[in-house]
Structure formats: structure tokens, C-alpha cells
A and B are shown apart, each in its own frame.
Chain A
Amino acid sequence: MQLPFKITFWRVLLAIVWLAGTYAVFVRFTEGLGAATNLSDKFPWGLWVGFDVVTGVGLAAGGFTIAGAVYVLHLKQFYPVLRPAILTAFLGYSLVIVGLLIDIGHPLRIYHPMLMGNAHSVMFEVAMCVTFYTSVLALEFSTVVFERMGWDRLRKWVSKIIVPLVIIGVILSFLHQSSLGSLYLIMPSKLYPLWYSPLLPAFFLISAISTGCAMVIFESHLSFRAFGHRLEKNILRHLGRVMLLGLVLYLILKVQDFTTRGVWDLTVLPRMETYVFWLEMFLGSIAPIILLSIKRIRLSTKGLYICSVLTIAGFLFNRLNVTITGIEASSGVSYVPSWMEISVSLAIVGMVVFLFALAVRYLPIFGNPLANVKKITPPANRMTPKHNADNITFDSGTATGRDVLSS
């Protein structure tokens, strides 16, 4: 089998990460979490919760953002990035679930929240939303597969319900993206006050949206380098603008929050938390806002790419700060993930990249000509009347990125 990677170095790296990750998963399932992780009674949530689940869900936020923009707001200029965004989200969520199954003590009881849910638990709400939203994503993504297979009737059936589907997806996403922050609302004494705030749900939601946009920019840049799918500059600029909006809103809220809670003095304490806090704020908020305010950067592909990388890095810091750094002080222990924890997380990232590349190769994601082995373009495309192009059809199948890109 041919791996869809050009550079051998990456193949080797992927193989190593997967081997290590598989071994770690084996240890975890044969000897328990204690043997594979550095978790303890004092530090029960580590990298697998903080990165694989909390961060992973946030990074996949591009899916609902773009789907909402295209279908609800009719912003058809985002159409070409719709499929990659939904693909990322679908893969992201699927692997979040894999990560969760590795982390929880009784993976075979994963259905328990469905049967004996506790409505007072944020975790229950997140579990429900993630379950339903992953199904929504699967349906949204299924049109791509149906199109590739030429199963037109199925594709049309999904297209018919796509608007309500996307609306449900947006609601579910708003709920669980914010709820990942709400998970910590109940721990005012445990989460360090630089991060604990009654506004945690809002912070989590807004940062997920701007990072979702950043991820789409980031991915399209990488896909361009790896597969040569060029994206219209305009789309990236639009995304950049949404991202900037989110970042500014986040910063304003943060300033307001710090003022009302009166914790500004904490930002100058010489403590580990302070340093990582500033790193997070600088990378994920201040630097990209400054850069994106400069017109030349906002309009250049490279500039947008750099800003997206910064935003994603800041987002990573933020989520890991809330889930790990911010908990250390109250836990009384210091937690550093074991190599097995790290390798499982990396293996999961590798899996997402691998499956993404695979999908791009075999499915009409970016308008890959390879995917058109069999001619399945419906007549709607060939003889698209002018007004049909203006009036966006809510049919995710027909006017794909392919049309925009291959022309």
C-alpha cells in the first residue's frame, strides 16, 4: 500500500509514533492506567483528557463554524472549505471518542451515560452532545462518500435535511464547546484563578470558533503543500477576518473578566502559572491580533498562515493550562505526562493526519480529479444556469469545491 506522504521522514516518524502508541495502549489495557500514565489520585486527569479530548474537540470546531456559515448564513464563499472542515471535524471527533475510550476505566460501559445519565453532570451533557454531533458530522460527511460512490438518491436524501441537520450541529457544538469550559466551573478552589472564571464557557466557545477558522487556514496551507490543492485567497481572507473578530472578542472579555474578578495582580506574580499564562495570551491572542490588524499581513496567504499557527499554539496552551497547569498548584503534585501518554496522543494526531490525507486522495474533498474516476457530475453542474450559481442551493453534493477549484 502506498502511503499518501511524499517525504519518507514523515512516514518513518508516523510508524514510530504508531508503534509506541500501540504499545502504550496495550500496556494500558493489560496493566491498567497506572502502568501507562503518570496519573495519580491527586492528579486524575492528564494529557489524555486535556489534549485528546478537551483540546481535540476544540480543534475540530471548524466543522460547525463553516457549515453554519455556508448553510445558515448562506455565505457561499466558504463553500470550498466546507468539505475539508467537515472532514477534519468528523475525524477529530471520531478520534476524540477513541481517546476517551482509552482514558476511561470502563470503555465497555461507554453507553452508560445514555441509559443512566445524570442531568446535573456537565460530563453527561458533553457526552450526549459529542455522541449526537458525531452522528450529525457523519451524515454531513456522508454526502461526500455518496457522491464518490455515485449513490445519488442517498446523497439527495441527506441534502434535503441538510439545513436542519446543520442547525442541530451548530446548537450541539455551541453547547458542548462551551461545556468543556463548564466542566471546570465546579472547581473554583482547584483551578488557578488566572483561568477559573464564571466566563469559562464563553471563553471556551469563542476560542474554539477562532481556532476552528485557524485550523481551516492551517490545513488548506498544508494540503496545498502536500497535494497542490490551491485555495482561493479570498476564502482565507474571510476566514482571517472571522478569526480576528473572535480573537478580539476573546481579549475584550478576558480584560473585562480580569477586572471584575480583580486578579490583575496575579498576572505579575513570579510563578510558573504566570509565565505560561503570558505565553498563552501572547501566542494565541496578542500576537495574532497585532499581526492581523496589519492589512498587508491580513491579506497575504503567508501572513494568515503564520497567524493561524500562532492562534492554534495559543489555543493548545490555553486548554492545557486549564486542564493541567492550572490544577497543579491545588493538587500539590507536579504532573508530567509519561512517554506512553505522549505517544498515544501523538499517535492519535498521526491518525487524524493519515486519515485526512487518505480521504483527500480518494474522496472529492478539495476537488481532486482522481476522485472523479467515474463521471458522476449531475447535470446540474454542467448546465448550471447563471441564477443557480447565485442562488446557493443547499445541496452539498452538486456545487462542490471541485467546480470552484478545477475551473
Chain B
Amino acid sequence: MRGRKALLIDTELCAGCNACVDACKEENNQPDVETTDLSSISYTAVIEKEGVYTRRLCMHCEYPTCVSVCPVGALEKTESGAVIYHYEKCIGCRYCMQACPYSVPTYEWNSTSPKVQKCTMCHARQKVGKIPACAEACPVEATIFGDRNELLKIARKRLSDDPTTYVNHIYGEHEAGGSSVLFASSVPFEKLGFPGNLPMEPLPNLTWDVLSKIPRFSVFFGAFLYGVWWVIDRRIELADNGTENNRFNQHLLDNEQKKEQV
């Protein structure tokens, strides 16, 4: 996981100025409307809760549920850590939306060729060496961009420097296996609307445990069914006590049938 990039968002620093939202909209050519939550035209939103400001955006999970559930591989976790979407593949089944533990992906509900929409961590900008627009725009460094490990260190330092302010928890370090977006806050995360009931291990394991058994199961089960069929068949045949006769009769019948058809 070396070289993985991440965003660190600190609710203690955020002033709620919405600069990140505006920069995001500009970067992604989205209409400038008031943004209160994620939507197909807003990849991020600043939300006021419990007296602090927090952001909603794709967490860019280390083991993304959305990537795991997509039947056609339209979502991809890139080397840098960003989770991106390939529209040409998407069939619009919305399993990614249903399964994302943070309910991040959104959908163009009023389109007849709908796209799934979500934050790309400015993958295109990153490719040309720029940092994500939101981190660049933030005037108070409430959102910063960097190496995930570096950011974790910074966050830990903030927590230990000021333990009375911060809750002792970096959200995204371990949740569902961790994510490339990290949060530090003075308010318990559940109160800010973050899911508090996530397991700490990667969610895709939950299905892979079952799915990975399928090939072996199919072979054994098939062999078993065939065996059952064979045993019972054989028994009936023997019980019939006229094995040869039976075959012979069948043969005659078949012939007769053929004749009749001619």
C-alpha cells in the first residue's frame, strides 16, 4: 500500500466556507446550485452538524465495496488509491449504490442513459501531477492531500497534541478495512452521520468467503447428484430383474417408432 494517496479532513479546522464544493463543481463542470448533500451533480458537500462542519464525499475505500460488487468491473481502485468509474461498462444495476457502506454513489435518475456519479479523487488531475481540487482550494488546510501514511502520522500527531479537543479516533483508518479519505474530529463520528456499525475488516471478504467456494462446490455437488442418480438408477434396474430384456424392449420400441415416422 506504499504510494497510496489520501485526503485528510479535519472538522476542527473547517470553517464551512464551501470553497472545496465550488472548486469540485468547477473541476467537474457541474452546475453551481446550492449543495446540501451528494447528488449526481455534486461529488461533495459540506454539512453542519453538532456545531462543526464535515464533508461528504467518496471515502475511496482501500477495499472498496463498490468495486467488489460491480458485476461488470465498471469501478476500479487505481494504484494511487482513487476509486474511479468507467461509464462504458456500467449496466446501471445500482448494486454499487446499494452496497456502498457510506451510500456515496449517486445516479442520474432522470436520464435514459444514466451514469453513476461519485468523487474521483480528481484522478485526472492526479495523473498530470496536480492535487485534488478540493484540497487545493481549501484556504485553511482543513482538507489536505498526501501520502496516506504521512497523513495518518499528521492526524495522529494532532490527536495526541490536543487530546482534549479531538476524539481519539481517525475515521477511515480501519473502518471496513480503511479508506483513502481520513477524518479527524472533535465530535464523535456517529453524531456526524458516519456509520458506526462498520466491521473493521474489508467488506468484500464477506462475499468472497462464499463466492470463492463455488467452483469446488459445483464440482462436488455435481458429482454427488450424478452418483445419487446412478445408484438409484442401478437399483431400480436390478430390482427390475430384467435388465437385458428391458434394453431389448426399448430397442424394439425405438425401431418401431422410427418406422412409423418414415
User: Which of A35-43, A140-148, A250-258, A349-357 lies on the face that meets chain B?
Assistant: A35-43
Choose among B38, B113, B214 the residue that contacts A125 (Cβ–Cβ < 8 A). B214
A-B contact count (CB 8 A): 198
CA distance A112 to B74 in the complex (A): 10
- Chain B minimum-CB-distance residue to A163: B229
| Interface status of B1 (Cβ within 8 A of chain A) | no
A45 close to B69 (CB less than 8 A):
no
Q: Which residues of B contact A153 (CB under 8 A)?
A: 261
Q: Give B248 Cβ to nearest chain A Cβ, in Å.
A: 11
CA distance A189 to B98 in the complex (A): 11
User: Which of A101-109, A265-273, A283-291 lies on the face that meets chain B?
Assistant: A101-109
Q: Which residues of B contact A41 (CB under 8 A)?
A: 38-40, 97, 103, 105-107, 109
Q: Which residues of B contact A45 (CB under 8 A)?
A: 94, 98
Choose among B71, B218, B253 the residue that contacts A118 (Cβ–Cβ < 8 A). B71
Q: Which residues of A contact B110 (CB under 8 A)?
A: 31-32, 34-35
| Interface status of B204 (Cβ within 8 A of chain A) | yes
| Interface status of B164 (Cβ within 8 A of chain A) | no
Q: Which residues of A contact B114 (CB under 8 A)?
A: 32-33, 105-106
CA distance A68 to B228 in the complex (A): 11
Contact with A along B73-106 (1 / 0, CB 8 A): 1000000000000000111111101110101011
Q: Which residues of B contact A188 (CB under 8 A)?
A: 197-199, 203, 206
| Interface status of A152 (Cβ within 8 A of chain B) | yes
Q: Give A291 Cβ to nearest chain B Cβ, in Å.
A: 31
Residues of A in contact (CB 8 Å), total 72
CA distance A112 to B105 in the complex (A): 20
Q: Do A186 and B99 form a contact, CB below 8 Å, given A32-B112, A120-B208? A: yes
Residues of A104-151 at the interface with B, using a CB-CB cut-off of 8 Å, are 104-106, 109-110, 112-113, 116-125, 127
Q: Which residues of A contact B198 (CB under 8 A)?
A: 188-189
Contact with A along B38-62 (1 / 0, CB 8 A): 1110000000000000000000000
CA distance A117 to B89 in the complex (A): 10
Q: Which residues of A contact B103 (CB under 8 A)?
A: 41-42, 331
CA distance A103 to B249 in the complex (A): 53
| Interface status of B32 (Cβ within 8 A of chain A) | no
Q: Which residues of A contact B229 (CB under 8 A)?
A: 71-74, 163, 167
Choose among B39, B98, B207 the residue that contacts A182 (Cβ–Cβ < 8 A). B207
B109 close to A33 (CB less than 8 A):
yes
Q: Which residues of B contact A388 (CB under 8 A)?
A: 246, 249-250
Q: Give B169 Cβ to nearest chain A Cβ, in Å.
A: 17
B210 close to A123 (CB less than 8 A):
no
- Chain A minimum-CB-distance residue to B257: A378
A118 close to B207 (CB less than 8 A):
no
CA distance A198 to B246 in the complex (A): 50
A186 close to B211 (CB less than 8 A):
no
CA distance A29 to B112 in the complex (A): 6
Q: Which residues of A contact B72 (CB under 8 A)?
A: 109, 112-113, 116-118, 124
A121 close to B236 (CB less than 8 A):
no
User: Which of B6-14, B16-24, B121-129, B219-227 lies on the face that meets chain A?
Assistant: B219-227
A121 close to B225 (CB less than 8 A):
no
Q: Give B119 Cβ to nearest chain A Cβ, in Å.
A: 14
B257 close to A186 (CB less than 8 A):
no
| Interface status of A364 (Cβ within 8 A of chain B) | no
Q: Which residues of B contact A127 (CB under 8 A)?
A: 71
Q: Which residues of A contact B90 (CB under 8 A)?
A: 105-106, 109
- Chain B minimum-CB-distance residue to A71: B229
B68 close to A186 (CB less than 8 A):
yes
Choose among B98, B109, B221, B256 the residue that contacts A32 (Cβ–Cβ < 8 A). B109
A122 close to B211 (CB less than 8 A):
yes
CA distance A31 to B109 in the complex (A): 9
Q: Which residue numbers of B lie inside 8 Å of A, CB to CB?
A: 38-40, 65, 68-73, 89-95, 97-99, 101, 103, 105-114, 195, 197-199, 203-204, 206-208, 210-211, 214, 217-218, 221-222, 225-226, 228-229, 232-233, 236-237, 240, 242, 245-246, 249-250, 253, 256-257, 260-261
| Besides the known contacts A41-B103, A170-B225, A186-B68, 11 further A-B residue pairs in the complex with CB atoms under 8 A apart | A41-B107, A68-B225, A73-B228, A74-B236, A116-B89, A122-B210, A185-B207, A186-B207, A187-B99, A201-B210, A380-B257
What are 30 A-B residue pairs whose CB atoms fall within 8 Å in the complex? A32-B108, A33-B107, A41-B106, A44-B97, A74-B232, A74-B236, A105-B93, A106-B91, A109-B91, A116-B72, A118-B70, A120-B68, A120-B69, A121-B70, A122-B207, A123-B70, A127-B71, A167-B229, A171-B222, A175-B214, A185-B206, A186-B68, A186-B206, A188-B199, A327-B98, A331-B103, A378-B260, A387-B246, A390-B240, A392-B236
